[in-house]
């Protein structure tokens, strides 16, 4: 330890990460939770997290935790907020860095999820969480909505090919509102971020709907994509 820091040895806090893991399946936005395996609050539903090792950054720790639970390595990760109230965890003085993670549910390891007692919950069916994890989720959900306001979200949540209806239904779930199909289609196509495929989904109509995929371009905008449609509460 640097000698200049020795007098601060009594200033100690445990450092942790918590991951708010969103997925999308069967037209439902979902959250991955698991039952806490240590006291306090052992056996109750919790966000998925872990300690930050001395040799790790918070981002490295979050990626390690995500790979450990899902089996996936290339996961979209975005820092949400640092939660630092000294009494937030009854087990001790724990500072946690919260991250949003977006994954394609069909790609993760179902075996690992089952092994660690994790489970996907629809956003409308999330149980009461431990400590301040409900507040973490609230902040994380607003962060996700903000991302979807300025980015054409879906690259990390939808299959590689999808219809515009699939994309609109994802937005309906994120914002908990119904987007007008015609206006949504017109706006999305005007962004020129999607490539239409020569293949149709015939499952919902005789005419069918063309599949699309994301182009390999950045999809961040300085102005809201759906400026007249999205209203934050």
Q: Which of 115, 125, 160, 204 is catalytic?
A: 115
Considering Cα of 216, then 161, then 26, then 171, what sign does the dihedral take?
positive
Active site residue 56: no
> Which residue in 191, 179, 181, 99 sits closest to 151, CA to CA?
191
Residue whose structure tokens are 């981002």: 59
d(CA 29, CA 121): 8
- Listed in order, strand segments (DSSP E) in the chain are 14-25, 28-35, 45-46, 48-51, 76-83, 94-102, 118-122, 194-201, 209-214
Q: Which residues contact 184 (CB under 8 A, 6 or more apart)?
A: 164, 168, 171, 226, 229
Residues carrying an active site annotation: 115
């Amino acid at each position: 330890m640097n000698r200049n820091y020795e007098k601060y040895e009594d200033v100690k806090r445990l450092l942790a990460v918590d991951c708010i893991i969103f997925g999308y399946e069967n037209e439902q936005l979902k959250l991955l939770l698991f039952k806490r395996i240590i006291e306090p609050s052992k056996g109750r539903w919790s966000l998925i997290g872990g300690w930050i090792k001395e040799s790790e950054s918070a981002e490295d720790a979050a990626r390690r935790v995500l790979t450990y639970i899902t089996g996936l390595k290339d996961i979209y990760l975005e820092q949400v907020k640092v939660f630092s109230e000294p009494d937030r965890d009854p087990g001790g003085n724990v500072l946690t860095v919260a991250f949003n993670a977006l994954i394609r549910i069909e790609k993760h390891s179902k075996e690992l999820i089952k092994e660690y007692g994790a489970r996907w919950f629809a956003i409308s069916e999330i149980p009461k969480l431990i400590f301040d994890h409900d507040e973490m989720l609230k902040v994380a959900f607003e962060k996700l909505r903000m991302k979807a306001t300025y980015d054409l979200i879906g690259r990390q949540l939808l299959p590689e090919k999808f219809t515009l209806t699939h994309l609109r239904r994802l937005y309906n779930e994120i914002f908990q509102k119904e987007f007008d199909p015609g206006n949504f289609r017109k706006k999305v196509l005007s962004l020129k971020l999607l490539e239409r495929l020569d293949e149709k989904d015939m499952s919902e109509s005789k005419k069918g709907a063309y599949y699309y995929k994301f182009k390999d371009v950045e999809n961040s905008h300085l102005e809201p994509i759906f400026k007249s449609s999205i209203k934050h509460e």
